[in-house]
Chain A
Amino acid sequence: MAKTLFDKIWDAHVVSQKSGFPDVLYIDTHFIHEVTSPQAFEGLRKRNIPVFRPGQTKATADHNVPTINQHLPIKENLSRLQVEMLTKNCTEFGIDLYGLGHPFQGIVHVIGPELGLTLPGMTIVCGDSHTSTHGAFGCIAFGIGTSEVEEVLATQCLLQQKPPCMKIEVNGKLQKGVLSKDIILHIISKIGSAGGTGYFVEYAGDTIKNLSMEARMTICNMSIEMGARGGLIAPDETTITYIKDREFTPTGNKWTQLLDHINSLQSDNDAHYDKVLQFNAEDIAPMITYGTNPGMGTAISESIPDFSGIPEKEHYSFQKSLNYMGLEAGKSLSGKSIDYVFIGSCTNSRIEDLRLVAEFVKGKTKSEHVTAWIVPGSKQVMEQAIAEGLDSILASAGFELREPGCSACLAMNEDKIPPGKYCVSTSNRNFEGRQGPNSRTFLASPLTAAAAAISGKIVDVREFID
């Protein structure tokens, strides 16, 4: 029977199947971080059991770490204790940790791919919903809760019902100034923040094929923002070029075998999908969100919807969102003054993002009233940016290049947007209070964010590009 790529990877990881029970699914790689793992280790202690396959779990500290002076002890007490707890747990249970100060440290979904820990055909989980990022390599990768983190530590498996699979095809040529972030914000704005719930998504089509790995990761990263558990893209030459010669990528015979294996990782031509959606790249313009969930987005060249475009029973939630954001239905966002720009997070903090921003701001200066933070996704991204001289370009433009971590994406550390202030952010969520209590978030691409920093307001980046 013809199979989708998702079917093939899933079926190859089923350890046991029993009618009336979920599948026991084998997990190849498990990532952990300081926030969602302590209670899982505590659970192991209570059960008095070890980590089943400690070599297949890798740890880093990212959610809660400061992004300045990382060489000094963490000032905030609870954050420091949580990071210390991770170190203690990794030592006790024999898990490799890339903690603060380690050359591999960084946001978990940035370091996995850049270290070659994320490889095509794998199953990957982490106690973080943006684990879907790794799907860009042709993996089944999804976020899990802490009880499931404990389950994977204890057994290297997860009990899971196989979800249905949806194909999202994007074809055509992207307009200038439109990035993969705009593609995914466009898709989510069309299908809504629950439009993918229950599904696993395969992204396909020539537009997707022509994207770099970094750009593909941005798309898969935000699968969860339409409710999907994960999203994946079939591996190809772009994937192979990216993973080759990375720190933990196999070499010699093992590499040749991996290449053979990758050849088999394609959906069959006549494979059945439970749902298929199609989009034209030409229809996608630079996007921005105006509300308090990622589905509330629009092209910058268009306006916030008015009430006539919203089902009546959603009017209350819609109005509440706009009140929170201090915006009006039916109005354009173009020209709206902003206070902060945050370029970072597991969505857009990779070297390609930093290069794009640096290229755009070179010779320009940020608007005086804007604070612009760039938080690289990892130590390696930071080192690379410095080696390429991006740091001085960014500094001359008035941007502050900080040290790696999740930072203002979820504002668990001290990088918070103050109450009432507007931030154009390359992160993934615009929920109320996400970037700090009463902060207001506009999600956008790195180019749109850079343009906003320079102009001091929301602008259509195409105005800058000939």
Chain B
Amino acid sequence: MVPINMENIDTDQIIPARFLKSTIREGFGENLFRDWRFTETGEMREEFPLNNPLYKGKILVAGKNFGCGSSREHAAWALADYGFEVVISSFFADIFKGNALNNGLLPIQVSEDFLQTLFSLIDQNPETLLEADLETQTVKIEKLGLTEKFEIDPYKKTCLLNGYDDIDFILAQTSQIATYESGRNYSY
């Protein structure tokens, strides 16, 4: 796990606007948390958790209201491209949550208490192993016998497990869309 014990981490921090000029989805990981990872002159900020070799793994743990601000999906792309598969927080901003789910990055919302427990466990032992299981909707730290359930929209869960998306779902009902269009009370 990689802990960033900060609240209100906005998508401008996750990927600053000046790196949004690419027209493809790949390659944003390089600039993930750019200004927190590096100084203006490009030197590594050693105190930042992503630069701390003690913290490893595919799970990012962050304070509440993660992903607030700009709707840029590049934030989810950057986290996934860097290698994260799961983000754990006590609260996610709406648009970020949707973007993450649309990119196979799993946002896991846990209670504030559980989140604080995670931060202190990582603090005590940076190598603490946490396992996240989408199928059973649980996160657990086996060694300590600690388990927590999490909620996920059942439709989104099916999408993630089966690898299909919203477009496939809606494209299967284009005739209903046309029927809707012709039957509206007021059509713009």
Contacts and interface: CB of A to CB of B under 8 A. Distances in A.
Given A155-B174, A159-B169, 14 more contacts: A12-B184, A15-B173, A24-B170, A24-B177, A26-B177, A26-B180, A52-B174, A127-B71, A194-B64, A197-B91, A227-B93, A316-B6, A419-B40, A431-B13
Given A119-B188, A229-B94, A431-B10, A157 B177 contact: yes
Interface in A204-235: 224, 227, 229
Contacts of A21: 155, 169
Among the interface residues B8, B72, B165, which one has the most CB atoms of the partner chain A within 10 A? B8
Contacts of A412: 17-18, 20-21
Contacts of A266: none
B76 A145 contact: yes
A128 B11 CA distance: 12
Interface string A8-25: 000010011000111010
A129 B24 contact: no
B173 A16 contact: yes
Interface residues of B, number: 57
A286 B163 CA distance: 50
Contacts of A320: 6
B170 A197 contact: no
Interface stretch (A31-39, A329-337, A345-353, A361-369): A31-39
Interface string B160-186: 000001110111011011001100111
A416 B154 CA distance: 44
Contacts of A150: 167
Contacts of A437: 16, 35, 40
A316 B188 CA distance: 50
Interface string A153-192: 0111111010100000000000000000000000000000
Interface stretch (A77-85, A100-108, A445-453): A77-85
A22 B98 CA distance: 12
Nearest to A119: B188
Contacts of B166: 147-148, 151, 158-159
B170 A155 contact: yes
B24 A20 contact: no
Interface string B57-92: 000000111001111111010000000000000010
Nearest to B98: A145
B23 interface: yes
A433 interface: yes
B51 interface: no
The 10 residue pairs across chains A and B that have the minimum distance between CB atoms: A38-B23, A145-B73, A78-B21, A145-B99, A147-B102, A143-B71, A129-B71, A146-B73, A194-B65, A261-B186
A12 B23 CA distance: 35
A47 B167 contact: yes
A122 B188 contact: yes
Given A143-B95, A155-B167, A258-B186, A431 B40 contact: no
Interface in A306-359: 313-314, 316-317, 320
B124 interface: no
A15 to B, nearest CB: 4
Contacts of B171: 49, 154-155
Contacts of B40: 419, 437-438
Interface residues of A, number: 77
A227 B10 contact: no
Among the interface residues B21, B95, B154, which one has the most CB atoms of the partner chain A within 10 A? B21
B176 A36 contact: no
A198 interface: yes
B103 interface: yes
A257 B188 CA distance: 10
B155 A129 contact: no
B165 A432 contact: no
Contacts of A12: 184-185
A52 to B, nearest CB: 8
Contacts of B137: none
A15 B17 contact: no
A198 B94 contact: yes
A78 B24 CA distance: 12
13 contacts: A21-B155, A24-B176, A28-B188, A81-B21, A85-B23, A128-B70, A147-B166, A261-B185, A293-B10, A317-B8, A429-B10, A433-B35, A437-B16
B51 to A, nearest CB: 17
Contact of A154 (B63, B93, B167): B167
A170 B40 CA distance: 44
Contacts of B7: 314, 317
Contacts of B188: 28-29, 119, 122, 250
A144 interface: yes
Nearest to A158: B166
B167 A15 contact: no
A96 to B, nearest CB: 15
Contacts of B136: none
A410 B17 CA distance: 6
Given A36-B73, A82-B23, A432-B35, A159 B170 contact: yes
A79 B177 contact: no
A231 to B, nearest CB: 13
Interface in B114-160: 116, 153-155
Contact of A15 (B6, B65, B154, B177): B177
A247 interface: no
A193 interface: yes
A215 B89 CA distance: 35
Contacts of B25: 39, 42
Nearest to A129: B71
A345 to B, nearest CB: 13
Nearest to A154: B167
